[in-house]
Structure 1
Amino acid sequence: MGLTDIPIAQAVTVSLKELVDGTVPSTTLTDAFGPSSLGIILVKDLDPRFVTLRAQVLSNASYLASLPEEELESLTSPPSKYLTGWSLGKETLRSGHFDTHKGSYYLNCAFYQDPALQGAPADNFPDLSEYTAPNIWPAEASLPSFRQSVQELCALVIDTAALVARACDRFAEGSVTDYKGGYLERVVRGSLTSKARLLHYFPTGGDGGEGEGGDDDDDDWCATHLDHSCLTGLTSAMFVDEAAHDPRLADKNGVLEELDSSPDPKAGLYIRSRTGEIVKVNIPRDCLAFQTGEALQLITQGQFRAVPHFVKGAREVGEGRRIARNTLAVFTQPNLEEEVQPGITFADFARGVVAKTY
């Protein structure tokens, strides 16, 4: 399957005001999440802080990945299966090889409920340290804006996700038997287990850039998968030429110069639609995207289906260029004790997913 002739799909787009006012038509939600949909919606006209926070946080992804190896090692968490803090080469791709194409910084978002919390309570879940282990933060001297900016951006994404969830609730109440009114919004707003993943796709030819997956697999940068969240919030990707703007030398309080678009037209997010067609979806820089995940599929008895998707980083384009791709995903998820099916908690479900992937 080659990507040369893959069509670019236009995702359903709504404004933040429409979500706040509750005026998104049911037909729009059907187009976004129904049986023939892509399972993704874009939200425009966001909080004015979004553009600035996105630029800083995604710049910080390059700054983080360029830290000395020993400093990155201090930010890893083997007890949490590398699902807190820095992670590189711990996730398996479709082919079974470990993924060295991208580095990740995982962040537990319990602080959304209480700034004093840096992970979900460990009571009754001693084996789920990937959710209960406290966050590991880079030293302020190394990355001065890292913690504050990523926490603020994650909170903004979760606030927006809660409004998307409210619209989903209205849709589900009319189409899912015995659906509990307001369920998804309550899950998103009340979760202590939502998790963020700041991603840095290494430039090809650089450290970590080639990986073991080879160049032949279309999805070798992030194998085709389903998110196991309810709703996944995504920023657009930032593309940076790290040859021209070396993050090791830049002012860590500043923002890296962002390319207007990817120099590799194949780089980006690909979705397998409900009808089985693979399409590429572009997220505008000033918008957030929200995809449906497996937990939501279970909760809604399949009315909302999880989105199979994969990502391609930017291959080398032009001599002397080193193009990195940075993005942020926020996975809004039920609390560990919350049932996603009768008799099956999110903790039960998450254990299986993590065991398969890490």
Structure 2
Amino acid sequence: MGLDDVPVAQAVTVSLKELVDGTVSFDTLTEAFGPASLGIILVKDLDPRFVELRAKVLSNASYLASLPEEELESLTSPSSKYLTGWSLGKETLRSGHFDTHKGSYYLNCAFYQDASLQGAPSTHYPDLSEYTAPNIWPDETSLPTFRSSMEELCRLVIDTAALVARACDRFAERNVQGYETGGFLERLVRGSLTSKARLLHYFPNESSSSTSTSAAGEDDDDDWCTTHLDHSCLTGLTSAMFIDESAHPPSGDLVDRSATLPELPASPDPKAGLYIRSRTDAIVKVDIPRDCLAFQTGEALQLITRGQFRAVPHFVKGARDVGTQGQGGKRRLIARNTLAVFTQPNLEAEVQPGVTFADFARGVVERTY
């Protein structure tokens, strides 16, 4: 199936105030996360600081990816399976195919729970360095706003995820047999030392044409990030920022890397973005407004809610070369930047009887990296 005629779906949307007040109805949650849903909800009317932070953090994705190769190499962590710091070409999209279309910066978010921590304690899990390795931060002389803006935006995303989790708790306590009472999922999100952020930079595609084939053999253009499930509870997503890097180069001696890069009003490639496989196996595209956060369901939430809320299969497509021309007839180089924050249980927490999140995560990482 190609993407030419894929419909754009309207995701369920709630306001931050509704989450704070606890007025999101069970019907709304079922429509967003239930067995017949798309597994995604949008949150609007966020803290005004969000818009500024999003622009700053997503600009830094282009600045980071344009650093000299030796500097990027110093930001990598082979011992953590490249799941801390910079990663490029280490993720397996499908058997024998490594992803070189996008670069990632991984951040352990233990600082949300304890400001002194840069990774989960390793005492009982020496083999899970992807969660326990300390963060690797770019030098502030290279990227002066990188760390401060990333930490602040991640805290805002996790704060919002905790409110979505609170709404899920209300539903699950009423509808899931044996579900632990007292705000189980909200406590899990707020108290986690293993939540992880991933800042993504989809490199400009300079080829004039390309096709891809999914693992199922279909031509559904998902080579940028093949169809997968997140193994988190809730994944917070910003909308993507599209940048013409030919008009606004992120590297060079005169570049001010503390400045926010100009954002295109929309992707020049209408196919670029987030795609979801619905419960009926149809592919739909979901757009996230710039002033909203989206939250997707992951496999851990599916296990915790005994399948009442289902993990959502999805893939992402970057902006292709669509023949657009910039100033002076130069071909535009369009990058796509975004941030995902995976709120996850602590390593020792059970996601189903007898299975800890550590057990579950080991299998996922072995399959993917």
> Which residue identity lines up with residue 291 of structure 1 in the other structure?
Q
Contact 1:101 1:210 in 2 (8 A): no
Counterpart of 1:45? 45
Matches within 5 A, 1:258-277: 258-277=263-282
With normalisation by structure 2, the TM-score equals: 0.94
Counterpart in 1 of 2:249?
Answer: 246
Aligned match of 1:150? 150
Letter in 2 for 1:61: A
Q: Structure 1 residue 355: deviation in Å?
A: 0.1
State the alpha-carbon separation in 2 of the partners of residues 125 and 261 from structure 1. Answer: 44
Contact 1:95/1:213 (CA < 8 Å) preserved in 2?
Answer: no
Identity of aligned residues (%): 81
The one-letter code sitting in structure 2 at the alignment partner of 1:294 is E
Contact 1:292-1:305 within 8 A present in 2 as well: yes
Q: 1:90: which partner in 2?
A: 90
Q: Please point out which of 313, 318, 337 is paired with 2:348.
A: 337
Q: Are 2:202 and 1:198 equivalent residues in the alignment?
A: no
Tell me, in whole angstroms, the C-alpha distance in 2 between the residues paired with 1:265 and 1:205.
17
Q: For 2:276 and 2:315, locate their aligned partners in 1 and report how far apart those are by CA, in whole Å.
A: 7
What pairs with 1:1-358 in structure 2 (closer than 5 Å)? 1-94=1-94, 96-181=96-181, 182-205=183-206, 218-249=221-252, 250-317=255-322, 318-319=324-325, 320-358=331-369
**1:157 CA drift (Å):** 0.1
- Kept in 2, the 8 Å contact 1:99–1:211? The answer is no
The list of structure 1 runs, each at least 4 consecutive aligned residues, that deviate by more than 2 angstroms after superposition, is: 209-217
C-alpha deviation, 1:26, in angstroms: 1.2
Please state whether the residue corresponding to 1:152 is helix, strand or coil.
helix
Post-superposition shift, 1:114? 1.2
1:338-357 residue CA offsets vs partner (Å, 9 max, x unmatched): 00011110000000000000
Q: 2: CA distance between counterparts of 1:135 and 1:127?
A: 17
Gapped regions of structure 1 (runs ≥ 5): none
Query: Cα RMSD (Å) of the superposition?
Result: 1.7
- Report the Cα distance in structure 2 between the residues aligned to 1:211 and 1:98, rounded to whole angstroms: 17
Aligned residues: 356
Please tell me whether the aligned partners of residues 101 and 211 of structure 1 are also in contact (alpha carbons under 8 angstroms).
no
Q: Which amino acid aligns with 1:255?
A: T
